Structure 1
Amino acid sequence: MTEAVWIIFAFGLGAAVKTLGLPPLIGYLAAGFAISASSQFIGLPAESTTALQHLAHLGVLLLLFTVGLKLKIKSLAQPEVVGGGLIHFIISCAIFAPGIFYFIDVSAYTALMLAVALSFSSTVLAAKVLEGKRELRAFHGRVAIGILVIQDLIALFVMSLASGSTPSMWALVVFGIPLLRPIFYKLLDFSGQDELLVLLGLLLALVIGGFGFESVGLSSELGALAFGALLANHPRSHELSKALWSIKEVFLIGFFLQIGIGGLPDSNAIIFALVVTLLLPIKGILFFFLLLAFKLRARSAFLTGLSLTNFSEFGLIVASLLLPEWLVPLALAVSLSFLISAPLYRVAQPLYEKLSKHLVPFERKGFHPDEQPLIIKEDVLIIGLGRTGTAAYLYLENKGLSIVGIDSDPIKVEKLITDGFNAVFADAEDQMLWQQLQAPHLKYVLLTANDVEAKIIAATKLRANGFTGVIISHSSFTEDAEAINAAGANYTHQTFSETGIGLAKHLLREADKEIATG
């Protein structure tokens, strides 16, 4: 009963924090600290219970399982992802560990483990801010998620080494698990879209992956990650991840509550958190220059680095196992980093616009293959290849027009190319895309992307670069339509209102027919 009251209280604070545009987990941590304070000043009981510990552990396993679902070898096996993740980890540890050892009276081992915990970036925060701006599948979003997965793998490796546990002979059985992939694929296909899908995810993450690996002397965290990775290439892996997202968040409330209940931060913990937070820009700057070294453009390197400029809940997981006495100071540092990182990324695009003249000179000659200048030889450009964009493409193609479509989702683009579309991967919000665009025969542009900001940027940049052809868009709301037209569109179709008018016209035509025949 006590745990239920705590979770309700944490949910309330999390919801309150969310209204301020901040991640709810800051509220969960605050709830834990508030419960701990009630114990010290009011005398109410506040100790981490067995139920709360189990809830926290389940949250960690589900987090790792959903990370594993994103573990696509093709997207990870990229120089900028592997190299950027590993090199950043090594340099971060080389910077933080000596400083912690020199300025804080701790052992070399503790200094190194603290440096390891601080070197990671938040998977939860980065995924949320990127998804909130529909950039999760954009080039810089994929690079950021790839680096986060590399960091998660490093964290698991560190935890395995530090635990010193020896697996049993039965652990060799795990090497045969990939042979069972077809069975798990069929189970995923069979599960449909309802509660069976969620239950299958829980079964694989918590029982077969978590408990199964633990029973043979392996890390339950490794098991959850491994079974997520086993399903990563299935077409429904993203759907499964989305279905488990809310459940994972509920269970993670227990993890953050447990940290806060562990004790209030003292003055030393507060000073430690403030100091390492002041050093936070080092992470972002290091990511920026490392990614430039792999020939990413300044914009991609800047956006990727900014999304990773925070400390990680994964660092707290490492600390909970290896440095429990440092859990509260690290939790405070993570919270402060979220307070800075989340609002900052919301203004990432305008911030880059202001800083671009200082950042672009650092670019290397020759760009990454995914960031080459876009050359359009066709008459019609469709920006955004969702249902609206592909329907427009097929209609215009049947009329004999030469068309090319662009989309920021590489998986969608690959599928469309397979289906015979003339599609190109490109991000409409990329300012440099429009500056480097070569389109000598372009006459018409259709803006069918979901994001209003992408349409406004595309229209503005096309007109600024001298495009005098026709730009047509669509929008759900009048105020968005006005903004798109002000940016340079000739006409914006208001989807809801004009669809309603169209339906009403059909009704009147049918009514006229009845009158005529009656």
Structure 2
Amino acid sequence: MSAIIWLGIAFFFGTLAKIIKLPPLIGYLAAGFLLPVIGFDDRDALNQFADLGVTLLLFTIGLKLKVSNLLKVPIWATGLGHMALITVAMSGLIFLLSATGLSHLSGLDLKAIVLIGFALSFSSTVFVVKVLEEKGAMNSFYGTLAVGILIIQDGAAVIYLAASTGEVPSPWALALLVGLYPIYLLMKKFLNFIQQGELLLLFGLLIALGGAVLFDSFGIKGDLGALILGIMLAKHKYATNLAKELFNFKDLFLVGFFLSIGLNGLPDSNIIIIAIILSLVLPLKAGLFFLLLTKFRVTSRTAILSSALLFNYSEFGLIVAKVGVDTQVLSPEWLTIIALSLAISFLYASPISANTEKLIAFTISKAKKFESKIRLPEETIIDPGDVNIIIIGLGRLGTGAYDEFVSQGVDKIVGFDNDSSVVKRHLKNNRHAILANSVDPDFWERFCINHPSIYMVLLSMPQTSNNLFAAQQLRSNKFSGKIFATVKYKEDEQLLKENGVDYIFNFYTSAGAGFASESLSVFPKKEGSMELCAENII
């Protein structure tokens, strides 16, 4: 019965937040403050849900972690540098505020002050991922930068969580590390078998929660175990499927975490004042992200987009603060202060993230002064040169089209693909190929599509949504040539035509027609054969 009460209240306030175009997390925090007022205080149930939410959050982060991305200088240097500078700056601010005499600030020792600064150095993974998914920009370069920085931050938080228990790991902990390899082989085998469907969700829950229990039994923080097992599966071809299955399910348990914060009581006037003051520092966070990113050769436009995403405080800050409360470094009121600061930061970040193009138009002239003269490879201008035909998507169909053009004497062709191994293979086979991500809005900002020699673009990506996006970008960039696109389903053809595609190649219909044509060429139809067949059937 109690679960129905808090789920209902959370749903109501989350819906209210969504109606006014705010993240539902703000509604969950508000619901949490209300629960004690109406006499609900089932801390045990909510804490269990909260712990499950944090464990699943770390596991899904591990599934998305690509170590090669984290090794890029703009990501690790910005992530670590920003965290260090903001921790120092926020610690200094808290120290100065402690002299004001406001309650909850007096009596803080150095350890508590640094912990608060550290908690406020994070940006929200949940917020950023949701914004990127809504914009369809998960594969954009600015999105990759933002998510990479978040993973660096989250990794620092996990290290803190692992060290915060104060427990000495079991002498058998080394044996656990050795035993992870056979566990990995077993997980891999099961994932290859399951691939997708309802079993995938149960498999993910079993691995995440089982890994946490396993590491706990060896005196190692269980959340760290969930993260490590997620990282081990990150390169698996079905890891994306697993992450998608768990993502929304994880959010359900995180609701319990945000509700549990409110059980510490309604904020008093001093808590509100402190939270407002802390929220005023958010432009400093965003500005520092911008300066560091441009310092590491990111263009001003990309730096603005990434900084706008990271303009907030984080649920991980709450998790860090909760550990501080559990270890008695912080008083419980600081959970409420940071929760309120988080909610205010979302109030700021939501309209900023929704209006980034207006923000860029307003600031770009001044922002360009901070750009490096040397661009990153991911941000160089893409000029295909003197070509007539562009093929976007060099899979089997795109490659077949490329070779057919060459056989017909057309040699001014270039192919784009977002897989570096595919591009290398085509270059090795003497095809003109360029590494590019056509579902990245930044790609179209750098692509010289209006080169006078280009008169045809073929969109041969496997997903219709990607072909649709590319067609929209081509037309919005005033491309006047012909656009051809592949499609699998008849119902998608009209949508592509409405968005500027001139000719549609239905993969299944055309393949079927070709199959029949080839069959007839080998075994031509004989006169009277159909009549004979009909007589036999009768």
How far has the Cα of 1:137 moved from its partner? 1.7
Which residue of the partner structure matches residue 7 of structure 1? 7
How far has the Cα of 1:474 moved from its partner? 9.2
Distance 1:423 1:88 in 2: 33
Q: Is the 8 A contact 1:101 1:107 kept in 2?
A: no
Residue 67 of structure 2 aligns to which amino acid in structure 1?
I
Residue 167 of structure 1 aligns to which amino acid in structure 2?
P
How far has the Cα of 1:441 moved from its partner? 3.4
How many residues in Structure 1 have an aligned counterpart in Structure 2? 478
Query: In the alignment, does 2:129 pair up with 1:103?
Result: no
Query: In the alignment, does 2:337 pair up with 1:337?
Result: no
Which residue of the partner structure matches residue 293 of structure 1? 295
CA deviation map 1:282-322 (0-9, x unaligned): 11111111011111111221111111111100000011111
Distance 2:351 2:502 in 1: 31
Which residue of the partner structure matches residue 156 of structure 1? 158
Summarize the Cα distance change of 1:285–1:245 in structure 2 as closer, same or farther, 3 Å threshold: same
How far has the Cα of 1:4 moved from its partner? 2.5
Q: Secondary structure at the match of 2:457?
A: strand
Q: Which has the larger radius of gyration?
A: 2
CA deviation map 1:173-195 (0-9, x unaligned): 23214422222211211223122
Match 1:198 to one of 176, 184, 201: 201
How far has the Cα of 1:3 moved from its partner? 2.2
Q: Is the 8 A contact 2:381 2:447 kept in 1?
A: no
Match 1:326 to one of 334, 357, 377: 334
Which residue of the partner structure matches residue 379 of structure 1? 388
Which residue of the partner structure matches residue 424 of structure 1? 435
Summarize the Cα distance change of 1:20–1:287 in structure 2 as closer, same or farther, 3 Å threshold: same
Residue 201 of structure 2 aligns to which amino acid in structure 1?
V
Query: In the alignment, does 2:469 pair up with 1:459?
Result: no
Match 2:86 to one of 85, 92, 98: 92
Which residue of the partner structure matches residue 511 of structure 1? none
How far has the Cα of 1:386 moved from its partner? 9.6
Distance 1:195 1:447 in 2: 33
Which residue of the partner structure matches residue 249 of structure 1? 251
CA deviation map 1:379-436 (0-9, x unaligned): 22245x499xx746644642435443446xx4x4545655778342245522884476
Distance 2:17 2:422 in 1: 40
Cα root mean square deviation, aligned: 3.1
Distance 2:82 2:94 in 1: 18
Query: Which has the larger displacement, 338-347 or 266-275?
Result: 338-347
Residue 79 of structure 1 aligns to which amino acid in structure 2?
V
Distance 1:231 1:431 in 2: 29
Q: Secondary structure at the match of 1:99?
A: helix
Summarize the Cα distance change of 1:280–1:493 in structure 2 as closer, same or farther, 3 Å threshold: farther
Q: Is the 8 A contact 1:373 1:437 kept in 2?
A: no
Match 1:346 to one of 350, 354, 363: 354
Distance 1:191 1:468 in 2: 46
CA deviation map 1:155-183 (0-9, x unaligned): 12223334322111122123214422222
Distance 1:418 1:12 in 2: 54
Summarize the Cα distance change of 1:434–1:193 in structure 2 as closer, same or farther, 3 Å threshold: closer
Query: Which has the larger displacement, 331-340 or 234-243?
Result: 331-340
Distance 1:317 1:477 in 2: 48
TM-score by length of structure 2 reads 0.81
Distance 2:17 2:403 in 1: 49
Distance 1:230 1:342 in 2: 34
Summarize the Cα distance change of 1:36–1:359 in structure 2 as closer, same or farther, 3 Å threshold: same
Residue 86 of structure 2 aligns to which amino acid in structure 1?
S
Distance 1:432 1:85 in 2: 27
Residue 185 of structure 1 aligns to which amino acid in structure 2?
K
Which residue of the partner structure matches residue 60 of structure 1? 54
Q: Is the 8 A contact 1:374 1:433 kept in 2?
A: no
How far has the Cα of 1:480 moved from its partner? 8.8
Distance 1:163 1:352 in 2: 44
Q: Is the 8 A contact 1:178 1:230 kept in 2?
A: no
Q: Is the 8 A contact 1:270 1:332 kept in 2?
A: yes
TM-score by length of structure 1 reads 0.84
* Aligned pairs (5 A) from 1:41-190: 45-104=39-98, 105=106, 106-180=108-182, 181-190=184-193
Return 5+ residue gaps in structure 1 as ranges.
39-44, 504-515
Q: Secondary structure at the match of 2:273?
A: helix
Summarize the Cα distance change of 1:495–1:357 in structure 2 as closer, same or farther, 3 Å threshold: farther
Q: Secondary structure at the match of 1:445?
A: strand
Match 1:271 to one of 270, 273, 278: 273
Distance 1:439 1:494 in 2: 24
Distance 2:371 2:471 in 1: 27
Query: In the alignment, does 2:366 pair up with 1:358?
Result: yes
Query: Which has the larger displacement, 243-252 or 323-332?
Result: 323-332
Q: Secondary structure at the match of 1:60?
A: helix
Distance 1:116 1:53 in 2: 23
Which residue of the partner structure matches residue 220 of structure 2? 218
Which residue of the partner structure matches residue 442 of structure 1? 454
Summarize the Cα distance change of 1:418–1:232 in structure 2 as closer, same or farther, 3 Å threshold: farther
Which residue of the partner structure matches residue 29 of structure 2? 29
